[in-house]
A and B are shown apart, each in its own frame.
Chain A
Amino acid sequence: MASNDSRLRIHKEDDVTYVEFVDRNILDEANIQRIADEITGLIDAEASPKLIISFANVDHLSSAALGALITIHNRTKQKKGQLRLADIDPQIYEVFTITKLNKLFEIHETAEDAVASFA
């Protein structure tokens, strides 16, 4: 599949992989599945993945998107990797609070803070 089909912007710096969403709304089930598959591929490609997912561009997400993030979290944990979420708008952060997923994910204000948190 051509890389320009991706709904993600991905770049790597040292041993850290940065992921950003192209779309402002992470709602569409088919898109969410593609995003989850792509990020899972990034995790599987690393022996000990260090991944930062930035929500800087995101205005809306659904429970299906949260489900994909949980799957990504579980996969990272299986590989003894480290996952950080960053740049989450207060309105979106409230969704994490309501679902108590702020207790499951390690969330940082900025990607810079997230990088500094890696062991």
Chain B
Amino acid sequence: MSDSRSQPRAAAHVSVPNDPRALQAVKEEVLAAVSERAYPEAAAFAIRLALEEAVQNAYQHGNQSDPARTVGFEWRIAEKSMTVTIEDEGTGFTPGVVPDPTDPERLEIPSGRGLLLMRAYMTDVQYNDRGNRVTMTYERQAP
């Protein structure tokens, strides 16, 4: 992990401990790099939310909050699009079997909305076959 006070990297590949502070530092670097590319406020909002959800999933559901595990990040932030990949050391999951949290019968269940938000706010969200690595892309719309 680089010094988070230095210039945020527009592209990087890092692995950090499954620790909230270490994960926060990476999220901040990615968001700072997005900010440097002058993405519109709505785009920054979308990316922050999706990143938050994906990292929380990796930390909690994938890595079971275990500090001995790690989370891998790879990101590339360009003028017109950004992509971030987040990989945990968990057993993975099958996105297709996650129940729809907007089902009226499920509205009062407190959990299970992260994936919905990632898909709603990013242009594309793809999991690997094992379900422990997610790649999210945000494409800026033409002005």
> Which A residues contact B (CB, under 8 angstroms)?
27-30, 60, 62-64, 66-68, 70-71, 73-74, 91, 95, 98-101, 103-104
Query: Residue B49 at the A interface, CB < 8 A?
Result: yes
Q: Which residues of B contact A (CB under 8 A)?
A: 20, 42, 45, 48-49, 52-53, 56, 60, 101-102, 104, 107-111, 113-114, 116-117, 120
Q: Which 7 A-B pairs have the closest CB atoms?
A: A67-B110, A63-B113, A100-B102, A70-B110, A63-B114, A104-B107, A98-B120
Contact for B116 among A62, A91, A98, CB less than 8 A: A98
Does B101 contact A99, Cβ atoms closer than 8 Å? yes
A73 to B116, CA, bound (A): 21
B52 x A27 contact (CB < 8 A)? yes
Q: Of A28, A91, A95, A100, which contacts B107 at CB under 8 A?
A: A100
A91–B48 CA distance with the chains assembled, in angstroms: 13
16 contacts between A and B (CB under 8 A): A29-B56, A60-B48, A62-B49, A62-B56, A62-B114, A63-B114, A66-B113, A67-B113, A70-B107, A91-B42, A91-B45, A99-B117, A101-B107, A103-B104, A103-B107, A104-B108
Shortest CB-to-CB span from A32 to chain B, Å, is 10
